[in-house]
């Protein structure tokens, strides 16, 4: 982390963050990474992921664990009790000059608190109000499941990704990362930026609604056109592609690798590299469709070569000649020079630790306004006084709010 970081592309944009868990915080993290000022409004006992861990064994403070540290970097924290009228009034004052507010409560919660889009826009017509919910908000389409709670695994199942993931056609499987949270989070960030861009031109904000289930279906777009065009019902295909070959995972002496040499340009090169040049000119395997029809033969030929070599040996042999990647575990990621030079494993200070620890870096790279991890995740209420002062509270009022347990 630079001591004097350059401003990000979103420098000057203020986001009031009323989110918890993963989907909402990841969304606002993406904005904060690009320089937006993200004010995380937490309950007095904090975002519930503060206590999830994992904790470093030498952490003396245990103010938050790795989960919270990872997706709440670059943010400021203010702790407010939204159950109290005075607390809700403070949030309204924060939103008065904000570009956007983001929340991921169940539908109706913000209405009951008097913090709905309709209320907040009265004081700030250019406000962008964004939500991430399991099945969306009634304002944009009243799903029969609008009021149902949802988490990552529910979205993965409902949106279709689990039905096409798994070792065989009879075994659906959850995807490892929480894509049921991360995909809607990313889409919501795009929606927020789109709406802010329009608001800066017109002076009018709008309501941005992303359903977790919708986002997963959008990610699984191919199942829609496959069914619509062919009438088929896509099923899990294991670690190979339903339409392309060779395109998938192959065994190595010390793990697994991936190869995607289905294209006409790469297919003969692969055949030469595995010592089977005759396959590259075999008329039975001449087209993409031919290779898919003879998938078993091709997979066995490629596997016969790869299983005799280590991942690193195969990386040197195939790398740069055909699309290739080792199946990395996190130890491989930490050791690989790609992730080091791309700043994708970032060292950050952590309260309670003498030495910095690591979190994932910023994947969106820009030359003039680089996104970056500018500072660690905040302590609970670390910036309460700063933001209360910014909305006009004097020292006496802040002391009273804290004594009355309205803020922390």
Sign of CA dihedral 174, 177, 178, 179: negative
CA distance 121 to 110: 13
The β-bridge relationship of strands 345-348 and 357-360 is antiparallel
Q: What are the φ and ψ backbone dihedral angles of 374, each rounded to 5 degrees?
A: -85, -35
List the structure tokens of 81: 């009790």
Q: How far is CA 44 from CA 79, 82, 183, 384, 403, in A?
A: 5, 9, 29, 11, 13
362 φ/ψ angles, rounded to the nearest 5 degrees? -100, 120
Helix (H, G, I), strand (E, B) or coil at 166: coil
Is residue 20 within 8 A of residue 383, CB to CB? The reply is: no
151's tokens: 């988490």
Distance of CA 378 to the CA centre of its chain: 19
CA 133 from chain centre, in angstroms, equals 15
Which among 370, 369, 319, 320 is positioned nearest to 342, based on CA atoms? 370
Count other Cβ atoms within 10 Å, centred on residue 140: 14
Interatomic CA distance for residues 201 and 258, integer angstroms = 46
DSSP state of 355: S
Task: With beta carbons less than 8 A apart as the criterion, state whether 156 and 216 touch.
Answer: yes
Q: Calculate helix-pair angle for 221-230, 212-219, nearest 10 degrees.
A: 60
The residues pairing with 276 across neighbouring beta strands, listed in sequence order, are none
Active site residues: 181
């Amino acid at each position: 982390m630079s001591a004097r970081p350059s401003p990000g592309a979103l420098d000057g944009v203020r986001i009031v963050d009323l989110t918890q868990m993963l989907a909402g915080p990841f969304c606002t993290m993406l904005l904060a990474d690009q320089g937006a000022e993200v004010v995380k409004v937490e309950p007095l006992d904090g975002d519930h992921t503060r206590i999830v861990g994992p904790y470093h064994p030498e952490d003396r403070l245990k103010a938050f664990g790795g989960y919270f540290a990872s997706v709440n970097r670059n943010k400021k924290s203010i702790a407010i009790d939204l159950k109290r009228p005075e607390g809700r009034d403070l949030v309204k004052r924060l939103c008065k000059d904000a570009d956007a507010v983001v929340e991921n409560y169940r539908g109706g919660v913000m209405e009951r608190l008097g913090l709905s889009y309709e209320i907040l826009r009265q004081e700030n017509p250019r406000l962008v109000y964004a939500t991430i919910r399991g099945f969306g908000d009634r304002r944009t389409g009243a799903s029969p499941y609008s009021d149902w709670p949802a988490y990552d695994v529910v979205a993965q199942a409902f949106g279709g990704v689990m039905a096409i993931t798994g070792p065989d056609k009879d075994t659906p499987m959850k995807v490892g990362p929480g894509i049921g949270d991360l995909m809607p989070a990313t889409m919501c960030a795009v929606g927020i930026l789109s709406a802010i861009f329009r608001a800066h031109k017109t002076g009018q904000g709008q309501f941005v609604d992303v359903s977790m289930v919708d986002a997963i279906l959008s990610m699984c777009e191919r199942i829609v056109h496959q069914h619509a065009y062919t009438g088929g019902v896509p099923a899990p295909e294991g670690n190979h592609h339903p339409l392309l070959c060779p395109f998938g995972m192959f065994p190595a002496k010390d793990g697994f690798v991936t190869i995607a040499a289905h294209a006409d340009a790469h297919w003969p090169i692969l055949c030469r590299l595995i010592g089977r040049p005759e396959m590259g000119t075999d008329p039975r395997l001449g087209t993409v469709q031919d290779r898919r029809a003879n998938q078993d033969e091709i997979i066995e030929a490629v596997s016969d070569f790869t299983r005799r070599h280590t991942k690193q040996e195969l990386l040197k042999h195939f790398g740069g000649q055909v699309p290739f990647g080792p199946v990395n575990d996190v130890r491989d990621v930490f050791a690989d020079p790609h992730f080091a030079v791309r700043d994708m494993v970032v060292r950050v200070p952590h309260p309670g630790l003498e030495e910095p620890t690591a979190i994932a870096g910023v994947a969106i790279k820009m030359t003039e306004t680089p996104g970056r991890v500018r500072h660690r995740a905040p302590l609970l209420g670390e910036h309460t006084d700063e933001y209360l002062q910014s909305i006009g509270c004097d020292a006496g009022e802040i002391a009273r709010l804290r004594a009355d347990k309205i803020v922390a």
